[in-house]
Structure 1
Amino acid sequence: MPANNQVPVFVSSDAARTVFRWKDAIAALQQAYGLPIPAKATPPRTVAILEKTWLRTLPAIPPGGRYFGAKLMGSNMGDAPPGIEYVIVLFDRTTNHIAAFVDGNLVTGFRTAATSAAALDRLAPQGPARLAVLGSGLEASMHTRAFASVRQLSQVTVFSPTPERREAFAAAVTQDLGIPATGVASAREAVEGADIVLTAARSRGEEPILFGDWLKPGATVVSIGSTIPEQREIDVSVVERSDLIICDTLEEVLTETGDMIAARAAGIEFHHKAFSLADLMSGACNEQMASAKAPMFKSVGGGLQDIVVAELILTKALEAGLAIPLPMNFETKR
């Protein structure tokens, strides 16, 4: 282990997939967000850009964790082959050494869905629930599985513009989770009568895909697809309808996502009903929770989520012998 011989390890996506468990990740995130989190421990993401090349960095030092570090992702969107690679670098607080490099692609999907489920577990009423899913990609698939670990899903209805994709999604949910699932021809049809609504697929034209008057009273909304000013996912009517808005990274959600920028431009006031995920987990907004009839969780992702889930995966991969020791040593500056 890195703590003993100082040799860093690599954790592949295959290893992460083998050791990952939804309930463990959700519990770890609920615990992490329930602790006091100094602002300097989770600074905002940074993005370096030169022409068509970009590099994004998400650093964090989770309170109470053994590891700290950052996720890096980057791409040249010009002449290079298309694609983005992610790496999470973990430092060990007990040794001051670089402990691991974790392939961040699958971890990103895991942490996003687990964070949403951690919030949903506090926001949605207990008992069986009908889930509407707008989208049929990796995030939609992971979120459905994460939600199924915290709520009994009685039915899943999915809309995706491509009939083959939504039918394949529904078939996989039924086969893997044993939950009746169907694909439908419109977003509105999917949402009708749903207790929980997940939006995980922005439209190609960056037009809203969910509207407030589609939602039944008491429905909980989870929105994950609008993370930068240029992106749209939910209509301003959804923001207006929501009487409690939980944000994983409060200021980034409220000021840097296209959905909230559009709501502000439409004259909708939402700051008074917006709280952080830490507020939700610590109980700081219990009074608002008690009276909320139309809660929403909105996410942009954050380094804290990456590091908490990566630590969990690293620990389990080491225990299972699935972490690969790397033939390298870093020089320590004294």
Structure 2
Amino acid sequence: MKDMSDKGLLIVGEELCQQLVGRRDAFDAVEAVFGAMARGDAYNFPVIREAIGYADALYGFKSGFDRAGQVLGLKSGGYWPGNMDKGLTNHQSTVFLFDPDTGKLAALVGGNYLTAVRTAASSAVSIAHLARKDSKVLGMVGAGHQSAFQLRAAAEQRDFEKVVAWNPHPEMLPRLGEVANEIGLEFEAISQEQLGAQADVIITITSAFEPLLMKDWIKPGTHLACMGTDTKGKQEVDAALVASATVFTDEIAQSISLGEAQHAVVDGTLNEERIIPIGAVINGDHPGRTSADEVTLFDGTGVGLQDLAVASVAARLAEEGGHAQRAVL
């Protein structure tokens, strides 16, 4: 992000991000940066993510440089599992944007809403490029804070008629049902095995450390977007399911080390050469889905460039709309 003014540091808070950055903005930004990554025009730097030994929290940094979009920066934050009981979202983060010409700090942007909307945009991009055009049933595994964002973004990619859902805490499902009904979709809470049998597209968005969906439960032609596994040891689906699918990802290095593919790679049933960057499909360098019966899986590990892309949009819209708050360092 270039310095847009010499008036001081641009500050874009959470409320303003929610007002300015919509699902279409996030989709376009994420799709563009995935394409740039596949062309070699954008780079993620190594992720730092650690358990801090306090409040059961995970904390870290994601950073990168999008040369095509001229966006440089990092996201600092993590996951505090006890926050929901305090009236806060479990994910807490802030994005720092720097002028790539000078290294000067240009903007501070709230990262909580943007993390949710960019994660939903990522799975939506995968659905747009990989799911069967005739998909009618959307399956949701997980009903936490991000699930509503996922559902709304996914519903815009295909003419879904019904949402089927499962969550380890079933009392959370009615809230997701309200979202489905609000956008005109039938909603049903069912078992994991029933979900696999019915759904044409499945989004997993949990913090699980064990498989919640098994290979034999998934019908031919399904597209899965696995969005919850972003740390070594996490797992949402059966490793055999990953190994049997055509696997796409945001970034291969993260997919094999901390994404959903990590378990199939460790047991030797999947090798790195079989994992395809989603950007290659976006750029037209890979056909994506090649048959109606093919099971496709998007391993959405969450890369720093996604955060920087949507934060840059927020900063630009704040500046253009005259909403900018500024501080002098």
Sort the TM-score into its range (normalised by shorter chain): 0.7 to 0.9
Aligned counterpart, 1:179: 185
* 1:118 aligned partner: 125
2:294 corresponding residue in structure 1: 293
The structure with more radius of gyration: 1
Deviations 1:263-312 (A, max 9, x none): 234441343421112222223322x6435811100011111101111111
User: In structure 2, do the counterparts of structure 1 residues 32 and 190 end up closer, same or farther at CA, with 3 Å as the change threshold?
Assistant: same
Residue 225 to residue 47, structure 1, CA distance change in 2 (3 Å): closer
How much does 1:227 deviate? 1.6
Q: What is the alpha-carbon distance in structure 1 between the residues aligned to residue 171 and residue 78 of structure 2?
A: 31
Check whether the contact 1:13–1:104 (CA below 8 A) recurs between aligned residues. Answer: yes
- Which of 238, 244, 252 does residue 241 from structure 2 map onto? 238
**Deviation of 1:202 (Å):** 3.9
Q: Distance in 1 between matches of 2:16 and 2:300?
A: 26
Q: 1:217 aligned to 2:234?
A: no
What CA distance in whole angstroms lies between the structure 1 residues aligned with 2:95 and 2:276? Answer: 28
**Other structure's SS at 2:233 match:** coil
Q: How many equivalent residue pairs?
A: 319
| TM-score, normalised via structure 1 length | 0.85
State the shift of 1:48 in Å: 6.0
CA displacement, residues 151-209 of structure 1 (integer Å, 9 cap, x when unaligned): 2221111112333311221122212x12222222x222223221101111244xx2210
Counterpart Cα distance in 1 of 2:195 and 2:46: 35
Distance in 1 separating the partners of 2:31 and 2:160:
21
Percent of paired sites with the same residue? 23
RMSD: 2.8
Change (3 A) 1:194 1:84: closer
Match of 1:195 in 2: 200
Q: Which amino acid aligns with 1:208?
A: P
Check whether the contact 2:181–2:187 (CA below 8 A) recurs between aligned residues. Answer: yes
Matched, 1:156 2:163: yes
Is the 1:134–1:198 Cα contact (8 Å) retained in structure 2? yes
Whole-angstrom distance in 1 between the partners of 2:78 and 2:27: 27
Which of 46, 56, 63 is the aligned partner of 1:59?
A: 63
Q: What's 1:27 paired with?
A: 28
The worse-fitting range, judged by mean Cα deviation, of 189-198 and 296-305 is: 189-198
Q: Which runs of 5+ in 2 are unaligned?
A: none
Q: Structure 1 residues 94-103 or 119-128, which shifts more?
A: 94-103
With over 3 angstroms needed to count, the CA separation of the structure-2 counterparts of 1:234 and 1:70, relative to structure 1, is same
**What pairs with 1:1-334 in structure 2 (closer than 5 Å)?**
3-35=4-36, 37-38=39-40, 41-47=43-49, 52=54, 55-73=59-77, 85-93=92-100, 97-175=104-182, 177-184=183-190, 186-203=191-208, 206-242=209-245, 244-257=246-259, 259-286=260-287, 289-291=289-291, 293-326=294-327, 328-329=328-329
Amino acid paired to 1:43: F
Residues 226 and 300 in structure 1, CA contact (< 8 A), matched pair in contact too: yes
CA distance in 2, matches of 1:152, 1:127: 8
Gaps of 5+ in 1: 330-334
